[in-house]
Structure 1
Amino acid sequence: MLQHARMFPPQQWSELPSGESIRFTVEQTLAPLWPRIFGYYLLNLGFLSADLNKTGLSIQNQYSLYDAPTADIMAELTDLPIQNTAVDAVVMSFLLEFHEDPYRLLRELDRVLIAGGYLIIVGFNPISPLFIGKLLSQYQNTLPWCGRFFTPYRVKDWLGLLGYQVVSDERVLHHHLLSRIMPKKQFWQQRLKAWLPSSGSVYVIVARKLEVPLTPLQSKKPLKQPKWRPAAAGRTGRASSRIKK
């Protein structure tokens, strides 16, 4: 119970170990994506999402939702005051780990997203050096180890159930993040990235909501009646002669 005593997300990048390094790396990873997203409304869930640099994004109407007076919207994450299919893109950074019902949160985001809309999820990967902090008691009640880590594979399974296509899944920062300041890339980090690229401590998943058309049921075709041919006279005669014998 100690490791889950604090279950609320970070409100500033500085609350995370090596927070500025995490922010910079996430911004670099998402930089090629922003020019490809179009629409009218983008929703930033959490302060960390709102604080990301989104150079090249053509969506002018960006709204932020987090627990602070500076947010554009203050509401429960699972009860958004937004109409159905009204948002073109949602950015969510390090929130699934600290929500009591992450799948319900994803369902709520699915409700407000338009068909073809983008869902960008940034989270911590437990299958990485980051998991070391879960094993050390002095870190279990601190960010980010006080949260519940979900593997990227599980997150993608949830998205698949909701009808999303994963556009990209990248793992970055092959480091345990136990130090407050990220050191320069060391040899073991470079080797780990080369040998096990999926073991990055932070995952960045970009998914797109599929537009599934209604497929009409095909009408049942009437069964074709077999065309029985009458037996030939000669064949009947041969059969009769055999019976007589």
Structure 2
Amino acid sequence: MIKNAIERQLKPWWPRVFGYHLLKLGALSAQVSSLHCSVSRHYSMFDSNCDNHLPDAHADLHHLPVNTKSIDSLLSVFNLEYETDPYQVLREMDRVLISGGYLFLIGFNPVSPLFLGKLLPKCQTQLPWCGQFFMPSRIKDWLGLLGYQIQSDERFMFDSLLTKRPNMLRMQDKLQHWLPNVGGVYLIVAKKVDIPLSRIRQNQEQKTTPWATAPSAGRNVNYEQLNKHDRKTID
């Protein structure tokens, strides 16, 4: 059910992504269909102990065996919730992603009906409640520090996963209509932007305009003759 909801949410985004390499991090990401994606080659990468599904490459998500700035798009599904150092994992994603590349982050929203399972002792040691749920705003703050532009922040799946009663479907429809931000799963689409650093000129000297003496507009005056004329007038 969660896999189908994720694929429906990602489907409108795949035609907007271009490039040569799409990397799916984690066993859950590898199971998400990306057939509608325009990227040429799709790879999956995770620890072989996570799932029976075989990846294209075995790797620790904290230290990816991928060249810097070699991936055009990256998909991460429920990885940050179950890693010991989620920010380091996010930094590794940023390292391998090219400038202008797209990062698709999917995780659990703590402000949702899904969080009710973390309040029940019998569910606290089970998936998905055994992980650490991060606020989407916190994830966006991390991405902002790494220099990303948020393209979209979506919520979906308003189910608590605790019961399958028919009357819960009507409650989910009401939550989706009245409180769209309390969806149990978030999808954050971010674009990597590298801002070039340019030197700022400080205290730039202004060029002073050279002033020239204005030419005299009057006629030349003979002051000796003027003094003689004044003496005669006085006498």
After TM superposition, the score normalised by the length of structure 2 is 0.82
**1:69-218 to 2 correspondences below 5 Å:** 70-179=54-163, 186-218=169-201
Partner of 1:12: none
What residue identity is the alignment partner of 1:105?
V
| 1:43 and 2:23 are equivalent in the alignment | yes
Structure 1: 5+ residue stretches without partners: 1-20, 228-245
Partners of 2:166 and 2:77 in 1: CA distance: 23
Please say which structure displays the higher CA radius of gyration.
2
What residue identity is the alignment partner of 2:204?
K
Q: Is the 8 A contact 2:151 2:190 kept in 1?
A: yes
**Could you report, residue by residue, the CA deviation over 1:154-196 in whole angstroms, capped at 9, with x for unpaired residues?**
11111011000111111001121114x6968622111111111
What residue identity is the alignment partner of 1:99?
E
Partners of 2:6 and 2:91 in 1: CA distance: 24
Q: Which runs of 4+ in 1 moved over 6 A?
A: none
| Greater relative CO, 1 or 2 (CA 8 Å, sep 6+) | 1
Moved more, 50-59 or 197-206: 50-59
Alpha carbons of structure 1 residues 184 and 159: separation in structure 2 relative to 1, 3 Å: farther
Partners of 2:64 and 2:188 in 1: CA distance: 22
Q: Is the 8 A contact 1:37 1:59 kept in 2?
A: yes
CA RMSD of aligned residues (A): 2.0
After TM superposition, the score normalised by the length of structure 1 is 0.79
**1:12-51 to 2 correspondences below 5 Å:** 21-51=1-31
Query: Percent same amino acid at aligned positions?
Result: 48
Alpha carbons of structure 1 residues 137 and 176: separation in structure 2 relative to 1, 3 Å: same
User: How far did residue 56 of structure 1 move?
Assistant: 2.1
